[in-house]
Structure 1
Amino acid sequence: MQQYVLVSLASMSGNGSVRNHGNYHENEGESIERRERLKSGRQSIPFYRRHSSVSYSFQGDPNSLSNYSRSYKPEFPKVGDYGSIQTSSHQHGTDLEEVFDDEADSVAEFTLPVQGANTDEKPVSTEKLYFGFTVRKLKVFLSLVLLSITEILGYSAIATFFPVVAADKGLSPGQIGLVFASYSIAGIVAALIAGSLLVKIGTKFCVLAGMFFNAGALICFGFLDQTALLPFYALSIASRGLMGFGCNLAYTAMYAIIFQEFEDRSITVVGMSETLVSIGGMMGPLVGGALYQYGGYATPFIVLSSLQFVLMVVCWYLLPYSPADSNVATVSPFQLLKHSSAVIATLDIIIMFTLSSFFASNLDTFLNDEFNMSPVIVGVTMLIGSLCYGITSPIWGYIADRWKKNFLMEIGTLGEFVAMVLIGPALLLKSWFGIEKQTLPLLYAAICVKGSFTGAALMPTFTDMVDAASELKVQESLLAQYGMVSGLWNTAFSLGDISGPLLGGLLVGKFGFENTAAILGLCCLGLMVIKISERIIRRCCCKPTIVEASSEYESLLPNTPDV
């Protein structure tokens, strides 16, 4: 015979505010009676509901009852429909219309199973795990793997040969730079659209549509060498922009899915995806250059676009169904910037990707001037930083998930400051320590430090933005909040990707590479100081916010003792 816990639910007052249920008192006889009820497998449990989250706790001896605490998440499709309570082994339908009747003081009772109670029923078997993931989560993770590798391959494959082809066509370096910059410009538009309308469009649709746009743009790129100069230039910008739009559309939706599916392990999974991005970034120029050399201009585009179309079908099978909800409000991701943590996280992302794109566009010239390196050695040197980033990102992601109150951003920005000062090194540092010229050991050490600490600076930004969205309550739906976070994150990434070549080019022409690197390093140090200051201010000056129930059916509070 299944034994159950008796749960009491008290209605809230008609004006929508939480009723004062009074103080809790219990004499010795009542305490003995309640303990006897517990021994027999039955105990009255106060119930609390806020929005779509339901939890309960026992009133009794905390030492003997600590193992019985659980949380429940019911579904509330509409007002008046109270869904069901879902546990690990039981589902109990609820028809609680009178419980939430604001016009009457009503109390309803229903039952939930007691953990550890005697039962004749066989427990439901737990779902089998693969590498620590359920089948559903494993499918989502595989989709992220496919997306990360294919998107970055398409992004980086043209770096080795397209500038040469474009120069032969008659484009200037500035025009070629605009072609590449169109990727990030269109990416900003996609991130803002997806961040605002993700739930209305549907996350799965956004991922597949983004992959489709990217694959189609690659095909268009493959036939541009047959056109004249002006059409070549215009269509190159359009095709590259469509690639950026598709990539950011897919990534914005995918990150939202990751936050929703993996919850407390989401940052670790994102760190793993950054490892895949690093691998794809290293493979892209090699794959693109090899296909171009052996098959001509169109070959890399046709091969990569065909691969993306195939993997798009695979992701269609793997990703869980995500219905669109047209009733969700449209809120811009920029609304998150009302929170100080989100502002600092956004600045952090912009600065980190500004540094990365600055190195990608200027480091090869510095290495050639300073050490007279061959193109192959320059490529290997630049890959060292990507390799360090790919190795350390999952570690930083795990730390960010495991210890929510961490100082990773401060550690990461301090490491970036040290690396940027040493990579030149800065002229002031040369004069202080009598360094006449950069040495290879110091250069490689600085590159490794930079790559290793970039992940430490970036991983906490996800958590900070999610917490900001939760505190601001800009959206009721968690998925909508995750969409806003992902949209703002990818917008900041694109801004940094644009800023690096533009800002770096201006500063290098005026101050030189060494001092420009040091100036960008000082931006990291300044961000670290701002983050520490924000922590101190929030700890000392900000009191916890007490949120009152303000909507119909907002909460139910039982009689509880004074704290």
Structure 2
Amino acid sequence: MEEERARLITSEDTSYGGVVTFNASADQGSVHVQVPEKEERHLANGRTPQNPGRHRRKFTLMSLATMNFAACMCYAIPAPFFPGEAQSRGVSDTAVGLVFGAYAFFCMVTGPLFGKYINVIGAKFMLVAGMFVAGTCSVLFGMLDYMEGDVFLAFCFLIRGLEAVGVSACYTASFAIMAKEFPDNVATVLGTLEIFTGAGMMIGPPVGGALYSLGGYKVPFLVVGGFMLVCAVFMPLILPKQSDRDSVSEETASLVALLKVPSTYVSSLAIMTCAAVYAFLEPTLQPYLNLKFDMTEAQVGLIFLLSVGLYTLSAPLWGWLTDKGVFPRLLMVLGLLFTAASYLLIGPSPLLESIFVEGNDLWMVLVGLGLSGVSLGAALVPTFPELLKSAREAGLEDDSLATYGLVSGVYNCMYSLGEFIGPTLGGFLDDQYRFPVASTATAGFGGVVVIGMSFFYFYENRRKKSQSSCNDARSSH
């Protein structure tokens, strides 16, 4: 009788990838279910073998991919024609760089704020509202065709800044939703989403250049801004309902706690550097190629396509390797090292004149852009998972929308800081010293960061080994 009243039922369920154990006690009138640790989180979210959330994840991924593509299209279309158009209206290269940099500046300022209050605003509402703001501002940017001189420049700053606020809301919400929905495959999903980010960056410049050639200044902004607004209209229907509230205290979602972890600064520096070296090209490459090789806006758009295309193709691989634990920090360091080296070719650098007699050959620019696209993915993709590790070290609550929002805000803030520094400093250096020297300075900046990261990781590994040896010695006594 006792054996019948207390029985152990063990079931092998392949949907959980392990053994599920049920302990039933008739005396206590209770049932205890033991599942593999990895699946506890999914059961807590209400997912079962009959309802595994597969469709939900598909629609979430589809929604985030659409947002990434549309936002990057809006961001990238001015690159082939805006610098030349602004110069024809009396705007200097430095001011053009500031216009590109202003976009990043407003993203940088608002990213942490959106991350802090994502629990209050709601992730889905933040994403959709940000898309509406960004699309509307892109349309308004096309209306600047009727302005000249200082008025043109002032409204460039105003509208581009407001567009940046909308995009900042989009990306902060997107990264938080991604980390919440795919906690065990963050880098792989990030690499997959970078396909659509890269697609928007690839298609944006040639489409912008082609539409500019067909219809003038305002047509690219009207078309792409309108596309963004259409996506915003349908987004609430596609994106599944998000869990916008977490019972997380201020202490467990504290930016101060995250900033106490040293690795946070190293990952943030890597993010900023990746963004800066790429964004350096936005205000500088088009005038240089036009002057040196007499290229049209459409041809410059195709040149931009090379770097972004290779980044897009390689990003999923770097994400998969990161999730597999294949030395993500080594990927970051080597990625930045080769990215810095690529900018010596893009210039091409005066340092290479003794090696290549014809230092202004187009092939060097193309090889440099291709190398930068591949290596930039290796440097950038592992940074978000590294920030999540830092958050866990800081004691922030795991699998919490508040934590993911905070990390997303830091990521977007540092990326935007790099996007601000790159065009602003790049435009100034291009004005003062011309493109080859400016590109060499960018390579030098990347090299210095690589040295700093290498020293930190070497020191941290030695410290951890020393602590582990001390703990082993204490335990043996």
Alignment TM-score, normalising by the size of structure 1? 0.69
Equivalent position of 2:273 in the other structure: 351
Equivalence for 1:312: 232
What is residue 335 of structure 2 aligned with on the other side?
412
User: Which residue of 344, 349, 364 maps to 1:421?
Assistant: 344
1:208 to 94, 111, 128: 128
Residue 136 (structure 1) aligned with residue 61 (structure 2): no
1:365 CA displacement: 4.2
Question: What aligned pairs does 1:258-273 form with structure 2 within 5 A after superposition?
Answer: 258-273=178-193
Contact 1:334-1:488 at 8 Å conserved across structures:
no
Checking the alignment, whether the CA contact within 8 Å between 2:80 and 2:298 is kept in structure 1 is: no
Deviates more, 1:305-314 or 1:245-254: 305-314
Q: How does 1:106-117 map to 2 (within 5 A)?
A: none
C-alpha deviation, 1:164, in angstroms: 5.7
Decide whether the 8 Å contact of 1:350 with 1:492 is kept in 2.
Answer: yes
Task: Tell me the percent identity.
Answer: 30
Question: Who is 2:13 aligned against?
Answer: none
Find 1:403's aligned residue among 325, 338, 342: 325
Q: Does 1:275 align with 2:195?
A: yes
Structure 2: distance between partners of 1:240 and 1:529:
35
Greater Rg by CA: 1
Deviations 1:126-178 (A, max 9, x none): 64xxxxx8111111111112101111122222344555655565555544443
What are the equivalent positions in structure 2 for 1:294-373 lying under 5 Å apart?
A: 294=214, 298-325=218-245, 328-329=248-249, 333=255, 336-368=258-290, 370-373=292-295
Structure 1 letter corresponding to 2:374: S
CA distance in 1, matches of 2:294, 2:63: 42
Q: CA deviation at 1:253?
A: 0.8
Displacement of 1:224 after TM fit? 4.0
Counterpart contact for 1:190–1:246, Cα < 8 Å: no
The 8 Å contact of residues 386 and 451 in structure 1, kept in 2 or not, is answered as: yes
Counterpart of 2:349, as a letter, is A
Amino acid at match of 2:345: L
* Contact preservation (8 Å) 1:200, 1:326: no
Contact 2:7/2:24 (8 A) holds in 1: no
Q: 1:240 aligns with which of 155, 160, 164?
A: 160
How much does 1:457 deviate?
Answer: 0.4
Q: Which residue of 2 aligns with 1:472?
A: 394
Residue pair 1:214, 1:244 contacting (<8 A) in 2 also: yes
Residue in structure 2 matching 1:461, options 383, 386, 389: 383
For 2:444, the equivalent position in structure 1 comes to: 522
Question: More displaced, 439-448 or 385-394?
Answer: 439-448
Instruction: Report how far residue 540 of structure 1 moved.
Output: 2.4
> Which string of whole-angstrom CA distances, capped at 9 and with x for unpartnered residues, describes residues 372-405 of structure 1?
5555544433321111111111111111112254
Is 1:153 the counterpart of 2:68? The answer is no
Q: Which has the higher helix share?
A: 2
Q: Distance in 1 between matches of 2:403 and 2:155?
A: 36
The letter for the 2-side match of 1:319 is L
Structure-2 separation of matches of 1:232 and 1:85: 54
Per-residue deviation, 1:249: 0.9
CA distance in 1: counterparts of 2:45 and 2:396, whole angstroms: 27
Aligned to 1:188: 108
Distance of aligned partners of 1:318 and 1:248 in 2 relative to their CA distance in 1, 3 Å threshold: same
- What's the TM-score, normalizing by structure 2? 0.81
Partner amino acid, structure 2, of 1:178: L
Q: 1:288–1:300: 8 Å Cα contact kept in structure 2?
A: yes
- For structure 2, the residue ranges without an aligned partner over 5 or more in a row are 11-20, 26-31, 469-475
Shift of 1:470: 0.7
The separation in 1 between residues aligned to 2:434 and 2:215, in whole angstroms, is 40
Counterpart code for 1:420: Y
**Residue in structure 2 matched with residue 288 of structure 1 by the alignment:** 208
Residues of 1 paired with 2:463 and 2:213: CA distance? 63
**Cα distance 1:286–1:506, how it changes in 2: closer, same or farther (>3 A)?**
closer
Deviations along 1:495-542, one digit per CA (max 9) or x if unpaired, are 111111222234445655434433332333333333333333222223
Q: Distance in 2 between matches of 1:420 and 1:234?
A: 32
CA distance in 1, matches of 2:82, 2:389: 42
Asked if the contact 2:93–2:428 (Cα under 8 Å) also holds between the matched residues in 1, the reply is: no
TM superposition shift of 1:204 = 0.8
Q: Does 1:484 align with 2:416?
A: no
1:257 aligns with 2:185: no
How many angstroms apart in 2 are the aligned matches of 1:137 and 1:521?
40
Distance (Å, rounded) in 2 between the aligned partners of 1:228 and 1:435: 43
Measured in 2, the distance between the counterparts of 1:253 and 1:3 equals 47
Structure 1 residue runs without a partner (length 5+) = 7-39, 45-53, 57-67, 76-83, 90-123, 128-132, 545-561
Secondary structure at the aligned position of 2:242 is classed as coil
